[in-house]
Structure 1
């Protein structure tokens, strides 16, 4: 699919559903690939969730390397750098009282779909209507009624159910990006403490991650179902 068509899909999604901010195009640059010329590198460092927030609100394209990732948890979840032992062991979330036992914390971490360690060199972000590369995943942050309509659109063609899987941890890195990409299916996230404190996710917002491979069908269903 050419970039112009991808941009138009972003415009349609935002316009038909009257989204408050733009869908975000997220593209992985693999370790053996180069970042295409002309895309600026993020200045300084931000958490991944804050990068999604910047792209959906400010719209312009940028890329982030591991050095731009303020949150090592999010970075390693997306395949940038090595896993942190404190995270993989469950110690981190157990120490914050998120789980009753260390074993429970480790079980939650073990069930997180994570990008292969060291597989990603950079991540490119932009508003979908201004995407400069074909996305791997599109992240939509919106009010529950908008996510409801998107869920209906996901099921419009083939039926079935939306099988959301979340732990309310690492919502915009794992639940909205790595998980939809690896499992090749839509996922819905209620957010997490980090994305609400650092990533601009408002009390009235939640998130959905859509694998790019089904985006055109989803937008087509949105067009049929909700365009007035």
Structure 2
């Protein structure tokens, strides 16, 4: 698990995160569920609330019986979509789309996991002894920018972000990045903001685990080009408390400072 620890260390040094980075693992059988290293949910709990709890350092695992949100159960693959969802009627009843045609369009374009699972485990990434399937980072817009810069450093331009402000944590941050083996951003949805009580300034980033590793490396490698002098000083102090090598952090060397100095001349 050195790759995971290394990536997590680089991310936490590069960014000031107020919440723990979260890992999600799909559990395909009852045996796998029972062996999964997390406390089992005893009452119904929404998936997004499980993610919120994990950002505070506590892990949970749940099955269909203990999942408290129908949107998440179909997005994660705990159950198949019902006819009222597939028709668009359920979404149309939310009052978020002007007519049934638009609601059906949104339904047809939402990403649901194609697999069938028995359960799901959600806990802080640092608590995993095996690779998770998805990584979720809840943070602010500035750190969201830096994470996207890190992804772009390693993988190039992401041309197909998908977000609708609905089914944010389960589809936008979990199913979509998992199915696409990629990254996605989410402004959250009204449902999770109500159920989980996120701060109004918070947003989320979801990544497949494989892309998380390269993204964390990219965030670390873009410190010099992206951050100003005060941030670099702070990051260097954090770096001194680790065994990581300085990736090349220099004062007055952010790209926009260099461009500004060049223009002044």
TM-score with structure 2 setting the length: 0.79
Who is 2:39 aligned against? 40
* Stretch moving more, 75-84 or 146-155: 75-84
Which residue of structure 1 aligns with residue 130 of structure 2? 133
Partner SS state of residue 25, structure 2: strand
Distance 1:178 1:37, change over 3 A: closer
The one of 177, 181, 189 aligned to 1:184:
181
Looking at structure 1, the residues matched to 194 and 46 of structure 2 have their Cα atoms a distance apart, in angstroms, of 11
Distance 1:38 1:218, change over 3 A: closer
In the TM superposition, structure 1's runs of 4+ consecutive aligned residues that sit over 3 Å from their partners are: none
Map of 1:6 onto structure 2 = 4
The 3-state SS of whatever aligns with 1:123 is strand
Match of 1:155 in 2: 152
Residue 212 of structure 1 is matched in structure 2 by 209
State the alpha-carbon separation in 2 of the partners of residues 80 and 174 from structure 1: 13
8 A Cα contact 2:27 2:120, kept in partner: yes
Instruction: Report the CA distance between 1:60 and its aligned residue.
Output: 2.7
RMSD, aligned α-carbons: 1.8
**Residues 137, 49 of structure 1: alpha-carbon distance in 2 compared, 3 angstrom cutoff:** same
Secondary structure at 2:32's aligned position in 1? coil
Higher-Rg member (1/2): 2
Residues 129-153 of structure 1 show CA distances to partners (whole Å, capped at 9, x for unaligned) of: 1223311110111100010000001
Which residue number corresponds to residue 192 of structure 2? 195
Q: Relative to structure 1, is the Cα distance of residues 189 and 198 closer, same or farther in structure 2, using a 3 angstrom cutoff?
A: same
Q: Which residue of the partner structure matches residue 66 of structure 1?
A: 64
Checking the alignment, whether the CA contact within 8 Å between 1:25 and 1:139 is kept in structure 2 is: yes
- Offset of residue 40 of structure 1: 2.0
Mapped contact 1:162–1:186 kept (Cα < 8 A): no
> Which of 5, 22, 47 in structure 1 is aligned with 2:20?
22
Residue number in structure 1 paired with 2:85:
87
Q: Contact 2:7 / 2:213 at 8 angstroms: preserved in 1?
A: yes
Please state how far the C-alpha of 1:8 moved relative to its aligned partner. Answer: 4.4
Name 1:101's counterpart in structure 2.
99
Using the alignment, how far apart are the partners of 2:14 and 2:136 within structure 1?
Answer: 17
Is 1:50 matched up with 2:32?
A: no
**In the aligned structure 2, how far is the partner of 1:73 from the partner of 1:137?**
18
- Alignment-derived partner of residue 117 in structure 2: 120
The CA deviation string for residues 175-221 of structure 1, in whole angstroms up to 9 with x for no partner, is: 00000000111011111111111123221011111111122211111
- Point out the more displaced range, 192-201 or 175-184: 192-201
If each structure's helix is expressed as a fraction of its own residues, which one has the higher value?
2
Please tell me whether the aligned partners of residues 63 and 123 of structure 1 are also in contact (alpha carbons under 8 angstroms).
yes
Counterparts of 2:29 and 2:105, CA distance in 1: 29
Normalising to structure 1: TM-score of the pair?
Answer: 0.91
Counterpart Cα distance in 1 of 2:129 and 2:44: 22
Q: Aligned to 1:167, which of 164, 167, 174?
A: 164
